Every structure is written in C-alpha cells, then in structure tokens.
Amino acid sequence: MRILRPARGQRGWMLAGVGLGVAVIAANAALMAVSGWFIASMAVAGVTQASFNYFFPSAAIRLLAILRTTGRYGERLVTHEAAFRILADLRSWLFRRLIPLAPAGLERYASNDLAGRLRADVDSLESLYLRIIAPVCTGLASILLAALFVACFSVTAALAVLTLLVLAGLLVPIWTRRLARQPGQQSTELAAALRNQVAQGLEGAEELLLLGTTDQQTAEVERLSAALIERQVSLGRLAGATGAGVVVLAGAALVLVALLVIPEVHQQQLSAPLLVMLLLFTAVVFEGVGPLSHALQLVPATTQAVKRIRELADAPPPLPEREISKTPQGCRVELQQVTCGYDGGPAVLERFSLVVEEGERVALVGPSGSGKSTLVELLLRFRPYQGSSTLGGIELADSADDDVSRWIVALPQQPHLFNTTIRNNILLGRELVDQELAQILDDCQLSSWIASLPQGLDTPVGEGGSAVSGGEGRRIALARTLVADTPVVLLDEPTEGLDGATERLVVQRLAQRLAGKSVLVVTHRPAVLALAQRVVRLEGLHR
C-alpha cells in the first residue's frame, strides 16, 4: 500500500469506485431477491385468491434493473478513471525520484531495465487498485451486508451463508495467493528479462548480423518466452480451479440455505415467497466474492513489480539534495584535492586541483580515460567526490540542483536530441526572441542549413537525432547550451563531427560569444584550443 502514497490525491475516486461496486452488487442481489419474492407471491396469491398489490414490487424491479445497468457503467467508468489517475501520479512521482539519481545513480541499471520499470512495471500497477484493492473491498463489504440481510429473515441461514462466503471469499483466495506466489513473481521477473533481451537484440542487431549470432539471440528470446508462457499457463489453471471452487461453494450455500429454511417455512416462521427470495439472493450474492480469488492471485506479481519500482525509487542519490539556495560571489571555479570515480570502480581523478578564474577560458586535453569528462560531471553535481569544488566560494556539493543549473550549463560528450523539432530541441521550453535565436544559430553555423529545410526550425530531428547528421546534431546541442546563457559554461568536445572549415568558424564565434564567462573546454582537437586562454593537460590519474 506504500506505493499508493504518491496517488493519495485520488482517494475520492478510489472510494467512489468501491462504493459503486458495492451498490451494483447490492442492486443485482436485490433485483433477483425481489423478483423471486414477487413471482412466488403472485403464484401464492393466484392459488389462494388473495388480493396482492403488484404495483410497488414491479416498480421496484424496474428501478433495480435500471440501477444495476447504470451502476455497472458508472462503476467501470469511475474505477478505470481512478486507475488511470493513479498511474499518472505514480509515473510523475517515479520520474521525480529518478532525476536526482541521474546519471551516476542509474549507471548500474541497463537503459532497457529503467524503461521497463518506468513503463511496464508502473502500468502493471493498474491491477493494484482495479483488480486487487477495489474487488477486495467490494467483496468484504458484500460478505458483511449479505449476512446482515439474510439474518433479518433467518439467523441460521445467515450463519450458513456467512460461513460459505468466508470460505469462497477469504480462505480460497488466500490458498490461491499462496499457490500463485512463486509463478506470479517469476512471471514478472521473466517479463522484465524478456523485454531487456528483445530490446538489447534490436539495439545490437547490426553486430549480431555481422558476427552471425542471431540464432543464439533468437534462442534466448524463445527460452524466456516459453518460460513466461509456462508461468502464465500455471496461473491460468489456478484461476480456473479457484473459479470452479467458488461455483461449487455457491451451489453448496444454495442447498444449505434450502435445507435450513424449508423447516422454518413448514413451521410457518417464514412464508414460501421469502424462501424463494433467500434462495435467489444466496445464488447471486456470490458474484461479489468471485473476483477475490483472482485479486489475491495477482498479489505476488504486483508485489514483485512494486519491489522493482521501490528498489529504484528508494535508491539514495549520489549527492544529497539541498533545498537552501546560496548566491555565489562571482563565477570563479576552484577544485582543491578532488578525488572522484565511477560507482564501484577505481578513482579517475585523485587529489586533483584546478582553478578557472572569473572570465577565464581553460582547455582540458589528455588521453581517453584521463578524467576530462568526469571533471565536467563533477562540476555539474552529477557525481560524488571528495575534496572541495566551489563556484564563487559556494561548495557545489552543498548547493541545490536548481541553483547549479542557473549557474552552470554544459554541452555533454554525447548530447541527447529529443524526438521533436529543431526549435524545441534548442529552446527546451525557454522563451527567446527571434533575433537572439537567429544570432545563436548563426554562431553555431546552423542558419544556412536550417534555411534550406522546407520546414525550417520546425523540422523534426527524429528519434535520438536520427534524421540529422552527427555534425548537425552536435551544433543543435551547442545552440541549446548557448541559449541557457549562464556565467559558467562547460563544453565537452564542442566541435566533434564538424569539418575543418565549419569548426574554425564555430570556434571563432564561440570566442566572441563566451567572452567574460568562465569556460572549461574538454577537447582533443587542436583547432578548439584557439578558444582557450590556458591549456591544462591531464595525464591519467592525478596525485
């Protein structure tokens, strides 16, 4: 139930769905009961020649039929609305929990696994309210109300109905849940493994084809699929067996009520029409407890999905979140005796020191793996570190994430382009006048290319930038970085994928635009060094 706390604002919808479910079962049971009593009473009146007012019960039957139909529609509408609202709240909550973890806290998870937890596992929680909580609450209320109704006419029959309803609605479902625990948990794990295997196979399809290993990949997918189907078949058989058990118990309740009430009719403690009413009521009231077995059968699989989500949501962020805003005195960047590395691995930077004065442009060069990109991530507050890393005298580890994003902007080594237009990829929701945007596009050497496109800035870039070249995507990401206009700019290989002439023009424009800002440039391209006033070379691990 902890997983529903982020969706506690939907309690009204959830309670309304349960209330409508109980009302529908009550209307259906009352319809059958009144109909049986009415028909039997009419028959008795015909035999005895007694007068009988049939207007009221016939009107009640029509009313109950209308209530059952409209109530069923309303119950479906409200419960599904509640389920979808819960899922929307859970998705937003989980995404907010993931943001502080990125990127260092998420590196232990495969991207496909993350997507599966955020989408498939959260979607599976639709069953939590719609097929578990609502049916269980409705079933328990039905058991209590049914026993109270029957007790108004026969206490012994009420005890019999209560006993068999408890067997059908509680003991059989608990037994079902026990049997479904292992296959239910395994089905969730196998579904996640199958999603990851298929996604990885599609992502690495070129390599699999080149190496001739597609058969092995296909065999593994088939193995996981067969194992998943086997667990699902086991759950299906169990659902069929428990459904049959509920039907048998409903029949037993009908027989038992007849055996208990018929002597009372003979003794004239109850009328014959009331016997018919109680029999039909008993037969139909088991509709309320029928879904309980299926509901508890879903608990193990849903619990496993909740565990996967909780494992991700409860992971501690690499750096603790801060809410207190602080104002730096200038934009001087200073690192003193900084040690930093990747999760579980050796240190990439060890006791490293660097100062970037306010308004200074510094280039970092060095071999791959020397810690250049790690240094950029450290300054962005993406990775935990030891030592001191300050901006304007403010320790970055003690700063709020929102503050860091106002002070520092970065062009990462592998920027992501969203599946939307060029304009949206550059602005990312920011407001910018057309003249300023045009100047940034010109500085990034994008103006002539965008002008040649039929849709201009409204041209889609495709999934991950698949509709543009690497150099064009790089310049779109660079323009996005310049739009932020922060006092500190971090550029990781800003001209990667550009030809020599375009690279020189971009570097010249960047030198003009970034004048007065504190700039740290990571590069291995000699042409980019013209942007820097000072060059710092990293030679692997620094001590």
Helix (H, G, I), strand (E, B) or coil at 49: coil
Per-residue pLDDT tens digits for 124-137: 888 889 889 999 99
Q: Which residues of 191-202 are buried (b: 16+ CB within 10 A; e: fewer)?
A: bbbbbbbbbbbe
Question: Lowest-pLDDT range, 97-101, 213-217, 254-258, 383-387?
Answer: 97-101
Q: What is the mean pLDDT of residues 322-339?
A: 84
Contact 165, 147 (CB under 8 A): yes
**What is the reported pLDDT for 319?**
78
User: 135 in a domain, yes or no?
Assistant: yes
Q: Which of 313, 341, 367 is the last residue in one of the domains?
A: 313
Contact 301, 128 (CB under 8 A): no
User: 543 in a domain, yes or no?
Assistant: no
Closest to 272 (Cα-Cα) out of 70, 505, 42 = 42
| Same domain for 473 and 369 | yes
Q: Which of 313, 345, 379 is the last residue in one of the domains?
A: 313
d(CA 430, CA 479): 13
Q: What is the CATH number of the domain that holds 83?
A: 1.20.1560.10
| Same domain for 294 and 156 | yes
**What is the reported pLDDT for 344?**
63
Residue 264 is part of which domain span? 2-313
User: 81 in a domain, yes or no?
Assistant: yes
Per-residue pLDDT tens digits for 11-63: 999 999 999 999 999 999 999 999 999 988 888 888 877 777 778 888 999 99
**What is the reported pLDDT for 389?**
92
Query: Sign of torsion, CA 188 193 196 199?
Result: negative
Q: Please give the distance of CA 257 from its chain centroid, rounded to a whole number.
A: 48
User: In total, how many domains does the chain have?
Assistant: 2
Q: Could you tell me whether strands 386-391 and 408-411 are parallel, antiparallel, or unpaired per DSSP bridges?
A: unpaired
| Same domain for 378 and 274 | no
| Same domain for 170 and 30 | yes
**What is the reported pLDDT for 542?**
44
Neighbours of 494 (CB within 10 A): 25
| Same domain for 293 and 348 | no
**What is the reported pLDDT for 540?**
59
| Same domain for 214 and 149 | yes
**What is the reported pLDDT for 257?**
92
Neighbours of 222 (CB within 10 A): 10
User: 215 in a domain, yes or no?
Assistant: yes
Q: What is the CATH number of the domain that holds 437?
A: 3.40.50.300
d(CA 317, CA 476): 30
In this prediction, what percent of the chain has a pLDDT beyond 90?
A: 45
For 295, counting Cβ atoms within 10 Å of its Cβ (0-12 exposed, 13-18 middle, 19+ buried), the class is buried
User: 323 in a domain, yes or no?
Assistant: no
d(CA 10, CA 83): 9
d(CA 534, CA 514): 15
| Same domain for 165 and 78 | yes
| Same domain for 482 and 390 | yes
| Same domain for 169 and 287 | yes
Q: Both tokens of residue 188?
A: 């969730």
Contact 238, 207 (CB under 8 A): no
User: 341 in a domain, yes or no?
Assistant: yes
Give the predicted TM-score (pTM) of the model: 0.74
| Same domain for 107 and 39 | yes
H or E element that contains 522:
strand 518-522
Backbone angles phi, psi at 395, to 5 degrees: -70, 125
| Same domain for 304 and 344 | no
Contact 377, 385 (CB under 8 A): no
Q: Which of 281, 313, 345 is the last residue in one of the domains?
A: 313
User: 375 in a domain, yes or no?
Assistant: yes
User: 324 in a domain, yes or no?
Assistant: no
| Same domain for 371 and 260 | no
Helix (H, G, I), strand (E, B) or coil at 46: helix
Q: What is the mean pLDDT of residues 384-407?
A: 87
Helices (H) and strands (E) in the chain, counts: 20, 9
